[in-house]
Amino acid sequence: MSHKRIPKRKAAIAVGGAVALGAAAILLPNANASQDGASDAAAAAPKTLKAGDASDLASQLAGLLGDAFAGSYYDGENKQLVVNVVPGDNNNVVVQAKKAGAAVREVDNSMTELQAGARTLKAEATIPGTSWAVDPRTNKILVTADSTVTGDKWDRLESTVRSLGSGMATVKKSAGTFKTFASGGDAIFSGGARCSLGFNVTAGDGSPAFLTAGHCAAGGDQWSDAQGGQPIATVAQAVFPGEGDFALVTYDDPATQAPSEVNLGDQRLPIVQAAEATVGQEVFRMGSTTGLADGQVLGLNATVNYPEGTVTGLIQTDVCAEPGDSGGSMFTRDGLAIGLTSGGSGDCTSGGETFFQPVTTALAAVGATLGAGEGAGDQAGGDQAGGEEAGAGEAAGGQEAGAGGGEAGAGAGDGAGQSAEDGSGLTQSH
């Protein structure tokens, strides 16, 4: 995992300047916002937003609307934030949400009711092979059961869902089996386990480190960038199962230069900051087994019951993944770090569900910051944007790659490095 300084002359990805989250354009209007004579219709027109800006607006509206807020999602086709509200006798909440720039949808189930339903599922249906998350697009709890949930276990799950009441939850069967995606192979190694590097970070003490999945730490404390190679990094903190699936792994050499980027194969995407996920958001995943894959965020704060135990607070997606992709990075084409691959069901041939650890939560828990610190290489926006080696091995054409350079374990297959029309270097690859 050789982390070389990457010369600017080799920069291969034309990524547009990232839009700072919390832009002034989406700040909630004050009571005098319409004094300029704008019509009520114009003031209520939904704003066109990027997914990251929509996430900021959703957070503001959740606080503004209080109990009337029933979740939100990003409409990628119209580039709008859709906010669910339970207005009750107070129609003013609808007016407020519309003035803020959201498309408003009145729904029946409040967030309080949906969260109570999730607690009931936790108490009565914590069965290995099941998961649940609030789906704001249906205003219901989406419950998923894998192929191992049969017989009495299936009856128990169905009974619990029925007890929630009509219109509160739906059950979906998955053909695969929920599992974490660690395996023997390439990328980053410990003993017989293979995982993928997520994002390079700076630990609280200033030392260079990276994030990966917490369940990967079960493979061992010391990790290498080659099968049977010398250890180059040591697990400092790990959580799994429980309130997350993440690990902080510190580089043994404090002079390691670990740029903040994702290796797409023969190109590299600078990672500029961490961000919260939004339901409906387009995301990309990089992993050492399957390379680049894409999809959408389906749910937030998901609970997944793996064979090893229950994990809470995850992001549910329809992005595919396979063994060895664990710990790999989930990000946007704008260079926002969103998640770390945890597990799921299916594969990249038949599809399936994949769950991710939110990067923001992991960073806060381990006290780290995204990117390289002093003495550990340049930050995003500097030399890290280039295209020479930042990891061990070649990535293009499906050849094996190491986990260096802040990528999600490289190993991209055919097309992983081909540029999309927007110049981001990202291609949809379901």
Is 215 among the catalytic positions?
yes
Cα(85)–Cα(70) distance, rounded to whole angstroms? 5
Residue 66 burial (CB < 10 Å; 0-12/13-18/19+)?
A: exposed
The catalytically annotated residue of 55, 260, 326, 345 is 326
Sign of the CA dihedral 4, 213, 247, 332?
positive
Cα(33)–Cα(284) distance, rounded to whole angstroms? 38
Tokens found for residue 154: 């299936």
The catalytically annotated residue of 215, 329, 342, 429 is 215
Is 159 among the catalytic positions?
no
Instruction: Examine residue 46 and say whether the peptide bond preceding it is cis (omega within 30 degrees of 0).
Output: no
Active-site residue list: 215, 245, 326
